[in-house]
Structure 1
């Protein structure tokens, strides 16, 4: 597939009005995406677990304008209230996808969205939010073109979501999604995410992710700025090569269920992500003291308990504690006894691997 395959080949009769909705999950990257090229093309491939509880619900109401506009027209409500600060990002997103979704200038939209988790705190709210919006837009297109196949629907939705937020293209399906061209992965693409196409051991099919909310505030440096700092980063080439190697290693890990190797890759990826932030210019640190306390507690508990608990981090201070279903009782008790104290207001989210977005009944 190329970008041209997502440009409509026919003119559709437009509906007068309607409303669609989707609930789309966040995701947690195991091999991290950090650094991008023009048009939201990733500098390296990534792979993620789709989550379940951490999700965004978005409805998109649309009403046909009397005549096609020259500017985008929409209202946006976040958790029931106007959110003007979101408008520029939506404007940018619509501008990027207009070639592929020309009807955006034919409607006034009302976007209503809400999260089940704190916004801008390192739980990939842009991933769930932009994927939900992209799915809503594609649902409108499918109503205009009922012959559209399900495969095309999901590929184009992922393609559009990527143009809003790179990691959003990994949030439409589950349970393991890969994004970015990778020589050892058949069907991989820089344009959209794909379901991981190879064998996955049973141990990975019910994985848990308890997210410790160390800091619920907005990050001091946005992911967009962080990605841009990779352009002249002294270690960028080595990092991109490392991501390719780790993705190749995961193929045998997923097949065999080798949790020791899984832990090495996942924790190394998390620490490398933050090392890139600390060694860019300007440099910045998103981890907090309690982030490090939690990491050290996890290492100590894993050594004394023999469990396979591990951590990963996104671009923020919060810690994702990953562990298999068959160890959930011991690990969850450890989390409550030793880790929750390091969370802001002792807040955390119990999540697990999920299977993708769902349509909302908005009739």
Structure 2
């Protein structure tokens, strides 16, 4: 499949208006992607847990208008008009117009909100851009003159979401999603995320993710800039090779249920992500002292109790604490007693694996 397969060839021009609404979750990568080629193509594959409760809810109303040379839209966040989001939506529309030629035919009112606090330090680009992509796909489905199957709907929604934010392509489905071509997963693609269809042991059923909010402030280096610093990075090619190998290993681990091996891969991936940042030129550090305090506390707790709790990190200071459902009570007690003191305002969010986006 190529990007040409996603171009809408013809559509009904008689539909005057309508409204669609979707909720789409965030996700947390287990094998990280860091570095991308042109057109939001990843340099290496990744796999993520889809979350359940941390999600964006987006409603788009559309109304026919006279043909214009520009896009027409307004954006509301949490009920208030938000001009700050408009440049990103403008760029997104410019990237996807080839595939959705009806965009200039309508005025769009985009109303969006998050189930998690906007200042919580959780990246909302994955849930936010995937929710918009899904709404636009529902509009396309209503305009399309040919049947749109659920499979093709999800593929194109993921394809479009990727053009808004790379990780957003992993938020369409659940519980595990792979993005980026990898030999061990034949159906994988650089163009969109695919639901992981391999065997998954019951040890991973309803896996828990408690997000410790170490720093709610804006990162001093954006992910976009961080990805660009992988160009010419002295360790980039070895890192891309490592990600391929780790994904292949993780496929086997997910089937076997070996939590010790799962921990090794997931924590190594998190630390490698930040190692690439620290060895970029210019170099930068997104972890905070309290990030390291939490990591050391987790390691100490695991050694003392033989718990299967582990951590992962996004491109920031916050810590995702991952653990099996059967340990929920004991790990939450550990978090409350020993870890929340390292969180900003003792703020943390409890979530778990989810099944993907839903139309409302």
TM-score normalised per structure 2: 0.98
Structure 1 segment 1-363 matched on structure 2, within 5 A: 1-65=1-65, 67-119=66-118, 123-145=122-144, 147-360=147-360
Partners of 2:117 and 2:316 lie apart in 1 by 12
Cα 1:120/1:168, change in 2 over 3 Å:
farther
1:9 is displaced (CA, Å) by 2.1
- Cα distance in 1, alignment partners of residues 48 and 123 from structure 2: 12
Distance 1:142 1:211 in 2: 36
**Does the 8 A contact of 1:119 with 1:218 survive in 2?**
no
Deviations 1:277-297 (A, max 9, x none): 111111111111111110000
CA apart distance, 1:122: 5.0
| Aligned equivalents of 1:273, 1:299: Cα separation in 2 | 19
Root mean square deviation of aligned Cα: 1.1
Instruction: Indicate conservation of the 8 Å contact 1:121/1:318, yes or no.
Output: no
Q: Aligned in 2, Cα 1:70/1:251: closer, same or farther, shift over 3 Å?
A: same
CA deviation profile, 1:22-47 (whole Å, cap 9, x unmatched): 11000000000110000000000000
Counterpart-to-counterpart distance in 1, 2:344 and 2:236:
33
Deviation at 1:14, TM superposition (A): 4.0
CA distance in 1, matches of 2:22, 2:14: 21
- C-alpha distance in 2, partners of 1:317/1:115? 20
- Whole-Å Cα distance in 1 between the matches of residues 93 and 69 of structure 2? 12
CA deviations on 1:221-258 (whole Å, 9 max, x unpaired) are 11111111111211110110110000010111000000
Alpha-carbon distance, 1:120 to partner: 7.0
Normalising to structure 1: TM-score of the pair? 0.97
* Closer/same/farther in 2, CA of residues 278 and 211 from structure 1, 3 Å limit: same
Work out the CA distance in 2 between the residues paired with 1:298 and 1:345: 20
Q: Deviations over 1:110-149 (max 9, x none)?
A: 1111112244765331000000000000000111126211
- The whole-number CA distance in structure 2 between the counterparts of 1:117 and 1:222 is 21
Structure 1 residue 85: deviation in Å? 1.6
Post-superposition offset of 1:12: 2.2
Distance 1:288 1:64 in 2: 49
Structure 1 range deviating more: 184-193 or 11-20: 11-20
Uncovered stretches (5+) of structure 2, i.e. residues with no partner: none
Q: Distance in 2 between matches of 1:47 and 1:14?
A: 41
CA deviations over 1:324-362 (Å, ceiling 9, x no partner): 0111111111001100111111110000000000112xx
Q: Distance in 1 between matches of 2:208 and 2:120?
A: 20
Contact 1:180 1:192 in 2 (8 A): yes
CA shift at 1:187, angstroms?
Answer: 0.6
Q: Compared with structure 1, are the counterparts of its residues 121 and 46 closer, same or farther at alpha carbon in structure 2 (3 Å cutoff)? A: farther
Cα distance in 2 for residues equivalent to 1:116 and 1:273: 27
Contact 2:121/2:213 (<8 A) preserved: no
- The whole-number CA distance in structure 1 between the counterparts of 2:234 and 2:121 is 25
Supply the distance in 2 between the matched residues of 1:331 and 1:45 (Cα, whole angstroms).
Answer: 30
Q: Give the distance between the partners of 2:74 and 2:216, measured in 1 at CA.
A: 26
Q: Distance in 1 between matches of 2:243 and 2:149?
A: 33
Paired residues, number:
359
Distance in 2 of aligned mates of 1:266 and 1:33:
13
Deviations 1:268-312 (A, max 9, x none): 000001111111111111111111110000000000011100000
